[in-house]
Amino acid sequence: MLTENLLRNKKVIRRIIRAIQSLGLKKKINIMEVCGTHTYTFFRFGLKKLLPDNINLISGPGCPVCITEDSFIDKALFLCKDKQNIIATFGDLIKVKGTVSSLEEAHAYGANISVIYSPSEVLELAKINPQKRIIFLAVGFETTAPLTASILKEAQKNELNNLFVLSAHRVIPPALNLLCEDSEIKVDGFLCPGHVSVIIGEVPYREIVKKYNIPCVICGFEPLDMVLSIYKICSQISEGKYKLENEYNRVVKPGGNISAMKLINEVFDIKDAAWRGFGVIKKSGLFINERYKNFDAEKLIDKPLAHGKIKNINCRCVDVVKGKISPSECPQFKKRCTVDNPLGPCMVSFEGTCRIYYEYGA
């Protein structure tokens, strides 16, 4: 059994880094870490300083708050206007701006917004506020979608007709497909997200490897996980033979979590969906299906919303989430855009690349 002491053992980590160096790769290798927690580990533990200069890690669309479109915030702000509604949301969504303002600003002007720490709190809010509509802003990838699905099943079972969900759930594999087809980015390998992989397993990545002939390694979140996964990708590139490897096999099973996937498929339909920076990606969004339509907050928006125009603040979040630039290449980074005054969602979320660079990048 791997312990934290081993997973953070400096001698073992340096030995693997020497093994990476011994491969003798001279060209620049662009490895995309898809999950924000990987970015956090990479900078917090100083791995960037240890790796060879030609190994370049770039951040991808692994922060769910960061890829959530302005239009989703605009819908939430519209629902805030009705005094009968209580908006339930996780804290990292509060400061994200729509095209006009943020939920934080709406709360300052009297909107009824409740910050939650667990989706189960939404059920309690609905039970103790029977005269109010509880609207849960569901943001996240395959990792959190089963939790939202379980809430809706419980609400249906207990006839909680005052609970609604506004879904911005997204699925990761279609975004990876799109990144493989983008000639501007030139990804040489993927560190696949561990949390998502616990749910979906190995199969979706095998299809990406087969279609695009690119190395993929499912990666855990400790320093040893990351350097070992980077070694595996570099070894594949050195040999010219590409495949999926599951470095995080102590947690991720080949078939994923069958029960969680069953929950997702029971409650949601997969449809085309918009991502910040990507536009509409085919079959990448989870939307509440016909069986659970009575809980869909979309039906409470009874008219098309006239979205405002975002002021030209020269924020390049859309390029950061695609891995086209690093945060330090954005002209506003650490200047107008700070943790206390975030211009874009990449500086808001704890998984946001800009915030991680801001706090640990030096």
Angle (CA) 229-234-240 rounded to 5° is 130
pLDDT at 356: 93
3-state secondary structure (DSSP) of residue 90:
strand
343/332 Cα distance (integer angstroms) = 8
pLDDT at 212: 96
Residue with tokens 């339909």: 269
SS3 153: helix
pLDDT score at 130:
95
Angle between the 173-180 and 203-212 helix axes, to the nearest 10 degrees?
10
pLDDT value of position 52: 93
H or E element that contains 163? strand 163-170
pLDDT, residue 232, reads 98
CA distance 185 to 297: 36
Look at residue 162 and give its three-state secondary structure: coil
Sites in the chain below the pLDDT cut of 50: none
| CB 332 within 8 Å of CB 343 | yes
Please give the model's pTM, rounded to 2 decimal places: 0.92
CA gap 348, 254 in Å, rounded: 34
Instruction: Identify the pLDDT of residue 311.
Output: 55
pLDDT per residue over 33-83, tens digit each? 999 999 999 999 999 889 999 999 999 999 999 999 999 999 999 999 999
User: Any idea where the domains of the chain sit in the sequence?
Assistant: 1-362
- Sorted by sequence, the CB contacts under 8 Å of residue 150 that are 6+ apart come out as 119, 263
Fold classified for 1-362: Rossmann fold (3.40.50)
In single-letter form, the type of residue at position 175 comes to: A
Distance of alpha carbon 346 from alpha carbon 328, whole angstroms: 12
Residue 205: the pLDDT is: 97
In 10 A of CB 44, how many CB atoms? Answer: 12
Instruction: Supply the pLDDT for residue 5.
Output: 79
